[in-house]
Amino acid sequence: MNYGQSKDMELFGCDSTELDEVIRESREPLMGGPTMLATSYLSDAQDLIAMGANDLARKMINCAKYVISSMEKTQ
């Protein structure tokens, strides 16, 4: 695992290329798009905070921010 992958794991809990694939898949028909994906990550983060899983919630919030920033890049 290289430094970039290690940093991605700390930030997101997965590699950023995996997030890019999830974003691409979210654009498929009937999948809701990146906005729905970001909303879903934030909802998951709320649940995780309620359960006390703060580090995992932080990673979900970072995933949502990554999705939102990718939407800005495509506009």
The backbone region for 56, taken as left when phi is positive above 0, alpha when psi lies in -120 to 50, beta otherwise, is alpha
What pLDDT sits at residue 9?
A: 92
The answer, as to whether pTM is greater than 0.85, is yes
Q: For residue 5, what pLDDT is reported?
A: 74
Would you kindly state where each structural domain of the chain is located, as residue ranges? 12-74
pLDDT in tens, 8-44: 998 999 999 999 999 999 999 999 999 999 999 999 9
| Banded model confidence at residue 52, pLDDT cuts 50, 70, 90 | very high
**Distance in Å from the first CA to the final CA of the chain:** 32
- Taking residue 30's Cβ as centre, other Cβ atoms within 10 Å add up to 4
How many other β-carbons are positioned within 10 Å of the β-carbon of residue 37?
Answer: 23
Q: Which among 48, 49, 40, 43 is positioned nearest to 19, based on CA atoms? A: 40
